[in-house]
Structure 1
Amino acid sequence: MRRVAGLLALAAAAQAQAHAQPPATVRVDYQHSGNALSDQYALERVVIEPLPWPGDLSQNVDTTNRGQNMVEVVDAKTGDLLYSRGFSTIFGEWRTTEEANRISRGFQESVRFPAFGKPVKVRVLKRDERNQFSVAWSVEVDPDAPDVVRKQAPAPAKPIPIRVSGASPAKVDLLVMGDGYTAAEMKKFEADARRLADHLFTVSPFKERAGDFNVWAIAVPTGESGVSRPSTGVHRASALGTRYDIFGSERYVLTLDNRALRDIAQHAPYEFIEILVNNDTYGGGGIFGQFSTAAAGNDWANYLFVHEFGHHFAGLADEYYTSPVAYQSSAGRMEPWEPNVTALRDPAKLKWQRHVKAGTPLPTAWPKAQYEEYARAYQKRRAALRAANRPESEMSALFREDLTHTNTLFAKAAHRHDVGAFEGANYEASGYYRSEMQCLMFDRSERFCNVCNDGITTIIDLYAKKRVGK
């Protein structure tokens, strides 16, 4: 208790030192609906959150060019850009599934920004066919309007300080949320949050930048332990509504209840969220600028936490391509916005060229045929284990066997430690390339490649810029 009280005191002092009068946090909740061919937006509400803006006001404009979307906040009178951030959405992923060709669906979304004390226009941009941002929706927001929500119910749970490095505006604020933990399991949640946050900071580049992060935790108790897994007939009511089987993928874990997520998260300082589900079954997910998830009780929880956070935090693409996914293949090969994959349309302009040694061939050879031959057999075994609902220990053993096989196969490859352009990435066997043979975004290995390291560091700098003497 003394340690928690001390961290709370440090957190309070850090917050007080940040700004004498920090701006309020404004949240715009809206509906995003449509199908594979078209989409629409509709305003739900504008909320003034209970806590002040946690970000650095000198870093309001995002120049990283990440995300399928971008939010811009501009002065309603002058049009001057006041704030921007790239992000992606669950709707954006869903519209690439087969279901989006048949029906329309609606998804809750939110954007948050500091209050500027005057009316603003909030613009949501999306990438067009040229891979450039164009305005998809615009709405005027007056923070003094009578319909703005200013008072809400008390916090349903108390935030726990896990790691407090300083005032929020100078740090990246990560909020670890729990779902599927009963009242009797709150200590377990705190232990899971500490364990997995600690592991994150053993992995580069988070390890070297650990002092630039604050970590908080919050969980609202549930009546039953665990979250829903509909494919096995398991249904659980939980505060966040997190579940497995999103888009028909048994390992994909998300919540579609954005309102519930934001109404709980707003009671802690945050810029990024990772949800821990109190389950042993392998699973997770990550949406850039929204949140990530991980099964806290799984043998591979450390990997899941970091891998999915890579998606959410830095917009890293999946580099694997042999696992089944819900998304439909595209005939085109537009250059991805994600920093760690490329369509290699022009090898002379490779976006990670600075890491490539002279003489390295582009594309770069690797034992692709052998890898794919083993992967086909491995995926059949994996599917059979899930179909038979075998114990999770058998799935974990299969994953260990797979990683051992990959390490052995790659060990003697000519370009094992080179940066190049290795075909097979972004869920596609051909047409997309990753920068190194192996990476935490490719398989269950333990390190990010050099390009992913760069991609993560860029985002850390956006929220916790390097200062003189650091």
Structure 2
Amino acid sequence: MQHTPIRSFLCALALAIGILPAAQAASPGATPVQPATMRLDYQHSGNALGEHYAVERVLVEPLPWPGNMARTIDDSNRGNNMVEVVDIKTGKLLYSRGFSTVFGEWSSTDEAKTTTRAFQESVRFPQPQQPVRVRILKRDERGLFSVVWSTDVDPAAQDVIRKQPPAPVKPIPIRISGPSSEKVDLLVLGDGYTAAEMGKFEATVRRMVDHLFSVSPFRERAKDFNVWAMAVPTQESGVSRPSTGVYHASPLGTRYDIFGSERYVLAVDNRALRDLAQYAPYEFIEILVNNDTYGGGGIFGQFSTAAANNDWANYLFVHEFGHHFAGLADEYYTSPVAYQSSGERREPWEPNVTALHDPANVKWKKHVKDGTPMPTPWPKEEYEADSRAYQQERAELRKENRPESEMSALFHRDLKQSEALFSKAPHQHQVGAFEGANYEASGYYRPEMQCIMFDRSDQFCSVCQDAISTIIDLYSRPAAP
């Protein structure tokens, strides 16, 4: 609300929650009318050797475009993929955004070597006034984007879906700082909450969001965000956890055990996700699952998830949002993952890990003090020895299906042990290149010894903070002085 006329703010809020027709937003003193929001839903199929795309449908969402029309072109160089919307007649680039996909992660698993699967995906963009070509780009072996698929979209075509059913639930405004076109809009969705638990859901969202904005740089940039919440009630509490024989129907199909990893949680019904989310202004989505078991996940530009009732819920919410919001890589490397290493050490696009091919020009060079050794020494062998014992105990606890309190206690002991070890290291609070990151013990490096993306610390390193700020700038409009 700061630096924003009250009338504009109220108009934007009323429009967003569906009580004001879009045309009225053009009244004197109101926020300028935004274009409509178009969405292209498509199928992304294939395996480890190849991939294919096919159009499912094109539709106009119920709410106006929530984004900053002054920043329609993405220059952040994030993501495994990029969507571009190009004017067919002139060739002018109208819109672009980097993103990653669930298919992209799955294609690096063992299953993808023998099985072909299809995944639902969507791209959203401001409705154009003329026919456009929507292009999906993918990084090649050089790390550069090249077109892998394109399809033409005519906003006036008869098969464009223009009428949506009524919203199943209305969005709850959690934190509103101004018009959506000037702010980053975060939508927190709930999955696995019954009708009797809607109060619990809202209280959890408020607690999680308060924590998010206590962590830098979100703390300093809190006024650049709007936050909304929505949840469609379920018949049973919680979401599915197949490894323990628990199956629950839920609107978004969110579940544990993705790619065989017991802690990996993703929503598997993209169409249901987008059909619900379209009734709130959003650019980013975090899904809270009504479960106690530790788990979460995050896909850049898609969504993130977190187990809301776990002792580590605050950490999970922020860590997974780091993946989704800023494309941050995992910096840990001792936990088992489903992905298979190719053995190559290409320079990652993620801003917080590097293959360190050129130590003198590391991508976060501006943060490195003169004289810092590159690579930077740290107690790696001692850490790995401790971690082997920790991972063995963790696996036994899950195998025996022990109470979650025992797993939480193990996490606390592990963090305390790591902090004690790192406190004696001479480069503990310096930016350098610490070997061990991106799920690999060697060949990849992280900027600092500790970070939310490495362990269960409570702060992002300075490089991750920079990377987050870049994305905030892409979506928000600076407040008037």
TM-score (norm 2): 0.95
Look up the match of 1:21: 33
Q: Which segments of 5 or more consecutive residues in structure 2 lack a partner in the other structure?
A: 1-6, 17-24
Pick aligned residue for 2:105 from 73, 86, 93: 93
What is the DSSP-based 3-state SS (H/G/I as helix, E as strand, rest coil) of the residue aligned with 1:409? helix
Pick aligned residue for 1:154 from 162, 166, 170: 166
Q: Find the aligned partners of 2:15 and 2:164 in 1 and give their Cα distance.
A: 25
Pick aligned residue for 2:89 from 68, 73, 77: 77
Task: Give the 4+ runs in structure 1 shifted more than 6 A.
Answer: none
Look up the match of 1:46: 58
Look up the match of 2:436: 424
Q: Which segments of 5 or more consecutive residues in structure 1 lack a partner in the other structure?
A: 1-5
CA separation of 1:431 and 1:65: change in aligned 2, threshold 3 A: same
Residue 458 (structure 1) shift: 0.2
Q: Find the aligned partners of 2:428 and 2:257 in 1 and give their Cα distance.
A: 35
Look up the match of 2:4: none
Cα RMSD after superposing both structures: 1.4
- Residue 354 in 1 paired to residue 355 in 2? no
Q: Find the aligned partners of 1:341 and 1:466 in 2 and give their Cα distance.
A: 29
Pick aligned residue for 1:435 from 447, 459, 469: 447
CA contact under 8 A between 2:11 and 2:30: conserved in structure 1? no
Look up the match of 2:476: 464
Q: Find the aligned partners of 2:234 and 2:10 in 1 and give their Cα distance.
A: 29
CA contact under 8 A between 1:26 and 1:48: conserved in structure 2? yes
CA contact under 8 A between 1:18 and 1:169: conserved in structure 2? no
Residue 89 (structure 1) shift: 0.1
Pick aligned residue for 2:338 from 326, 335, 339: 326
> What letter corresponds to residue 245 of structure 2 in structure 1?
G
Q: Find the aligned partners of 2:162 and 2:392 in 1 and give their Cα distance.
A: 53
Look up the match of 2:251: 239
> What letter corresponds to residue 38 of structure 2 in structure 1?
V
5 Å matches for 1:288-437? 288-437=300-449
Q: Find the aligned partners of 2:365 and 2:335 in 1 and give their Cα distance.
A: 28
Q: Find the aligned partners of 1:414 and 1:166 in 2 and give their Cα distance.
A: 45
Q: Deviations over 1:164-199 (max 9, x none)?
A: 000000000000000000001001110111110111
What is the DSSP-based 3-state SS (H/G/I as helix, E as strand, rest coil) of the residue aligned with 1:59? coil
Q: Find the aligned partners of 1:117 and 1:379 in 2 and give their Cα distance.
A: 55
> What letter corresponds to residue 146 of structure 1 in structure 2?
Q
Look up the match of 2:119: 107
> What letter corresponds to residue 129 of structure 1 in structure 2?
E
Look up the match of 2:13: 12
Q: Find the aligned partners of 1:422 and 1:294 in 2 and give their Cα distance.
A: 28
Residue 410 (structure 1) shift: 0.1
What is the DSSP-based 3-state SS (H/G/I as helix, E as strand, rest coil) of the residue aligned with 1:195? helix
Q: Find the aligned partners of 1:47 and 1:249 in 2 and give their Cα distance.
A: 34
What is the DSSP-based 3-state SS (H/G/I as helix, E as strand, rest coil) of the residue aligned with 1:79? coil
Q: Find the aligned partners of 2:224 and 2:297 in 1 and give their Cα distance.
A: 24
Q: Find the aligned partners of 1:234 and 1:252 in 2 and give their Cα distance.
A: 15
Q: Deviations over 1:314-344 (max 9, x none)?
A: 0000000000000001111000000000000
What is the DSSP-based 3-state SS (H/G/I as helix, E as strand, rest coil) of the residue aligned with 2:45? strand
What is the DSSP-based 3-state SS (H/G/I as helix, E as strand, rest coil) of the residue aligned with 1:405? helix
CA contact under 8 A between 2:83 and 2:135: conserved in structure 1? yes
5 Å matches for 1:55-70? 55-70=67-82
Residue 152 (structure 1) shift: 1.7
Residue 20 (structure 1) shift: 3.5
Look up the match of 2:280: 268
Q: Deviations over 1:282-303 (max 9, x none)?
A: 0000000000000000000000
CA contact under 8 A between 2:11 and 2:31: conserved in structure 1? no
What is the DSSP-based 3-state SS (H/G/I as helix, E as strand, rest coil) of the residue aligned with 2:97? strand
Matched residue pairs, number?
464
Q: Find the aligned partners of 2:435 and 2:325 in 1 and give their Cα distance.
A: 25
Residue 365 (structure 1) shift: 0.2
Q: Find the aligned partners of 1:22 and 1:419 in 2 and give their Cα distance.
A: 42
CA separation of 1:302 and 1:11: change in aligned 2, threshold 3 A: farther
Pick aligned residue for 2:218 from 203, 206, 231: 206
What is the DSSP-based 3-state SS (H/G/I as helix, E as strand, rest coil) of the residue aligned with 1:57? coil
Residue 68 (structure 1) shift: 0.1
CA contact under 8 A between 1:14 and 1:168: conserved in structure 2? no
Q: Find the aligned partners of 1:193 and 1:414 in 2 and give their Cα distance.
A: 39
Pick aligned residue for 2:138 from 126, 129, 132: 126
Q: Find the aligned partners of 1:458 and 1:286 in 2 and give their Cα distance.
A: 18
Q: Deviations over 1:412-456 (max 9, x none)?
A: 101111100000000000000000000000000000000000000
> What letter corresponds to residue 68 of structure 2 in structure 1?
D
Identity %: 73
> What letter corresponds to residue 13 of structure 2 in structure 1?
A
